[in-house]
């Protein structure tokens, strides 16, 4: 029976969380969207429900998150985790505060810890302020984010504007003194009427301190790294057995492909390296603003290349080129064009024998799994930190679709050689 139930506000964040849980000894299944009533409970220690709620209207985000919570509780989960971005991506209205409030109320706990710190990606929290490297969040470029501009690094203030409840702070000096000091601080904050506590963390040891301190909390929130200390609590209590290979997946044979829609710097660098060793096609939506025609071009190009080496099909472009296309078509139409094109390409590639697929970009990943009818992913070993291979399970009768290994990654994750090296990594 599952022990740990997680809700995430985007898909690639969910795979990142799943990879961390496997790394820490929990067999993990990722469910895409709220499972239907009667959906069988997977054989896993941890379940992660991926929702597209980061920038959804707050009411919608709350409703979907509560539906996911009901399903996870019915599945038998004992502790719950709400995962969001290490840069606390949200607006003045939410959705971190409204979703967290709703989950806490539904669970009857009325209190939640919040810590987005992710030291391995240079995101740290000190005196309640979020830093990216040595730079305060609002000076890091996040203030210019088109959907969730972060203009304040003080998370106590940011979260305080998203919730009607008082927000407290567990400062660095207390976290440094260990789990008992943190537990005492959290108890004092609750007694003072605080419903939230932002916690400082500068390194992995601080996150494990926080994780130990909240072993008995029914709800915890934060980035993937915040959850890293929680599996050990289940082992210490005897609920979680030591697994020799929690991420073991069956072998899957077939052609390999990369689908890239992200325009992040990391993805652009990965495409640059891939050009030197792989067959790469970069589609031009500006010249051909028609999804069906672009997909036809891509699939015709892939004929004869599949099976010899991985193929890479991308719509990724430099920011100026993206801006030009957005001026021509509009922002929403541009996004729809790109995601429809790449989803169609992915469907065509699977029909032509692709069985291992890397997808770069959060929106692209969501479009691809939706087109392919993928409803869940059993998380396997990591290709790179935060990017695991995962075995896709498709909607419809079992056995009607071929086995498919997928790696869904955020655009800004991975070294420059990621596309060239991904398929050398075993599942």
Q: pTM for the full model? A: 0.94
Q: Are 121 and 207 in contact (CB under 8 A)?
A: no
220 membership: H or E segment, kind and range: strand 219-222
- Structural domain spans, the chain: 4-236, 255-424
- pLDDT band, very low/low/confident/very high, at 218 (cuts 50, 70, 90): very high
Name the CATH architecture for the domain at 255-424.
3-Layer(aba) Sandwich (3.40)
- Residue 399 in this model has a pLDDT that exceeds 60: no
- Residue 394 in this model has a pLDDT that exceeds 80: no
Residue range 5-23, pLDDT digits in tens:
999 999 999 999 999 999 9
Q: 393 versus 273: which is more confidently predicted? A: 273
4-236 and 255-424: same fold?
Answer: no
Mean pLDDT throughout 250-255?
A: 92
Residue range 72-99, pLDDT digits in tens:
999 999 999 999 999 999 999 999 999 9
Residue range 148-177, pLDDT digits in tens:
899 999 999 999 999 999 999 999 999 999
What 3 state SS string does 232-270 have? HHHHHCCCCCCCCCCCCCCCCCCEEEEEECCCCHHHHHH
4-236: CATH homologous superfamily?
Putative sugar-binding, N-terminal domain (3.40.50.10840)
Q: SS3 of 281, please?
A: strand
- Residue 2 in this model has a pLDDT that exceeds 90: yes
DSSP state of 424: G
């Amino acid at each position: 029976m599952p022990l740990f139930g997680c809700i995430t506000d985007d898909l690639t964040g969910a795979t990142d969380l799943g990879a961390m849980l496997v790394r820490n000894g929990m067999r993990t299944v990722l469910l895409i969207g709220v499972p239907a009533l009667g959906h069988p409970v997977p054989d896993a220690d941890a379940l992660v429900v991926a929702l597209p709620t980061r920038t959804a209207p707050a009411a919608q985000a709350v409703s979907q998150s509560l539906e996911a919570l009901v399903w996870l509780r019915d599945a038998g989960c004992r502790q719950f985790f709400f995962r969001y971005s290490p840069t606390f991506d949200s607006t003045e209205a939410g959705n971190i505060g409204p979703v967290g409030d709703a989950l806490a109320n539904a669970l009857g706990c009325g209190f939640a810890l919040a810590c987005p710190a992710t030291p391995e990606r240079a995101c740290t929290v000190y005196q309640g302020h979020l830093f990216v490297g040595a730079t305060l969040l609002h000076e890091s470029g996040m203030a210019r984010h088109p959907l969730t501009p972060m203009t304040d690094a003080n998370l106590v203030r940011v979260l305080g504007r998203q919730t009607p409840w008082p927000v407290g702070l567990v400062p660095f000096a207390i976290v440094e003194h260990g789990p008992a000091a943190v537990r005492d601080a959290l108890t004092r904050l609750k007694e003072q009427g605080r419903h939230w506590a932002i916690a400082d963390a500068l390194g992995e040891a601080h996150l494990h301190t926080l994780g130990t301190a909240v072993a008995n909390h029914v709800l915890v929130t934060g980035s993937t790294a915040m959850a890293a200390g929680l599996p050990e609590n289940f082992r210490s209590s005897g609920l979680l057995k030591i697994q020799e290979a929690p991420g073991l997946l069956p072998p899957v044979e077939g052609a390999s492909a990369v689908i890239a829609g992200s325009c992040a710097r990391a993805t652009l660098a990965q495409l640059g390296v891939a050009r030197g060793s792989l067959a790469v096609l970069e589609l031009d939506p500006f010249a051909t603003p028609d999804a069906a025609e672009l997909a036809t071009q891509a699939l015709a190009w892939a004929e004869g290349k599949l099976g010899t080496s991985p193929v890479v099909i991308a719509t990724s472009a430099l920011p100026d080129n993206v801006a030009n296309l957005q001026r021509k078509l509009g922002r929403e139409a541009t996004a729809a064009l790109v995601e429809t094109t790449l989803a169609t390409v992915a469907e065509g590639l699977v029909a032509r024998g692709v069985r291992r697929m890397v997808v770069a970009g959060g929106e692209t990943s969501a479009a691809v799994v939706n087109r392919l009818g993928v409803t869940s992913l059993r998380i396997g070993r990591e290709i790179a930190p935060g990017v695991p291979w995962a075995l896709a399970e498709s909607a419809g009768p079992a056995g009607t679709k071929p086995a498919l290994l997928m790696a869904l990654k955020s655009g800004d994750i991975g070294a420059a050689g990621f596309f060239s090296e991904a398929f050398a990594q075993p599942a």
